[in-house]
Amino acid sequence: MGDIERKPVSKGWWQGIASWFSFVYNRRIDTRFPVIPPVRFVTIFFLGAIACLALVIAADSSYLKLVQERATEDQRVFEFLTDIGKADWILIASGIVILVFTVFTAERYSGPLVRVWHRLQLTFYFVFTTVAFSGLLANLFKFLFGRLRPGRVEGSAPWISEPFTADYDFASFPSGHSTTAGSLAMALALLFPRFRYPFLALGVFVALTRNFVGAHFPSDVCAGFLFGAVFTWLFARSFARKRLLFHFETDGSLGLRGEGRGHMHLWPHLFSSGSKR
């Protein structure tokens, strides 16, 4: 951390931003563990995800009947709560904080305050980028799948699609709100591991509000939440490779930098990377 504690020479605004990105992207890589875990983890995850989606897809037909019977209309409380899953407020809020940090730069501080500045800057940068990137990919999948939203389906077939369609009505799979909910919930769980279960539970609840208001099928919500959560977890591993915010424990699981080695594993050994390479 010595390179952080040194007080840098005063720079212009743009030079300061460039030097910060240079600091982030030119870090020495921790090559002990890969970003994507071994086949063991990938196999377990995909088998579990497919099983969950299969169960949820089986419920899509029953859910479609509820939507067609207008059981999801006038859900004002859930219509309010579902907006928590919008990426806009997260990106705007974290983006503003990042911009503030470009004005109140690290060179204003010295000693431990420099490390605090870097920790906060990296935290908001991590939240902003993981929500933004997962959301962009979710929109790409929407375009590729082109699934018709439940409120627009006529008949009993729960899956009607027109691939490569940019129309809002054909943007049901995966749920973008649920992707954001999964991404933000996982980000907060990783950053505040003591409260990981409440954060994840809240994320699941926010994602489910998309079903309550009739905007998405259950499979859309399940796929979106899983994608957002897993994307953020892998994104955090890419940060750990550069020793930013997170680090790899000796078994390859993620740890939060500053908490002390072995202080707390963020996830059980199932999610570790196995033996060292």
**Is the predicted pLDDT of residue 10 greater than 60, yes or no?**
no
Distance CA 63, CA 54 (A): 14
Residues facing 246 on adjacent strands: 256
Which residues, 6+ apart, have CB-to-CB distance to 275 below 8 Å? 252
On the question of pLDDT at 271 being above 60, the answer is no
Residue 16: pLDDT over 90: no
Express each pLDDT in 204-238 by its tens digit: 999 999 999 999 999 999 999 999 999 999 999 99
**Percentage of the chain exceeding pLDDT 70:** 83
- Residues 140/179, Cβ–Cβ less than 8 Å: no
Domain ranges of the chain: 36-271
Contact 49, 57 (CB under 8 A): no
**∠ CA(254), CA(256), CA(259), 5° rounding?**
130
Q: How many residues does the chain have?
A: 277
Q: How many CB atoms sit inside 10 A of residue 98's CB?
A: 18
Give the model confidence (pLDDT) of 47-97 as tens digits. Answer: 877 887 787 888 999 999 999 988 888 888 888 888 877 888 899 999 898
pLDDT at 42: 73
Strands (E) located in the chain: 246-248, 254-256
Tell me the mean pLDDT in the region 115-141: 91
Band (264; pLDDT cuts 50, 70, 90) = very low
Please tell me the pTM assigned to this model: 0.83
Which pLDDT band holds residue 11 (cuts at 50, 70, 90)?
low
Rounded to whole angstroms, the Cα distance separating 211 from 72 reads 8
Cis check: omega of the bond before 174, within 30 degrees of 0: yes
Round the average pLDDT of the chain to a whole number and report it: 82
| The pLDDT of residue 269 | 38
Residue 31 has pLDDT above 70, yes or no: yes
Fold of 36-271: Vanadium-containing Chloroperoxidase; domain 1 (1.20.144)
In three-state secondary structure terms, 147 is strand
Q: Which of 27-41, 131-145, 159-173 has the lowest mean pLDDT?
A: 27-41
pLDDT over threshold 50, residue 265: no
Between 239 and 52, the higher pLDDT residue:
239
Q: Which residue in the block uniquely carries the two structure tokens 């899509």?
A: 60
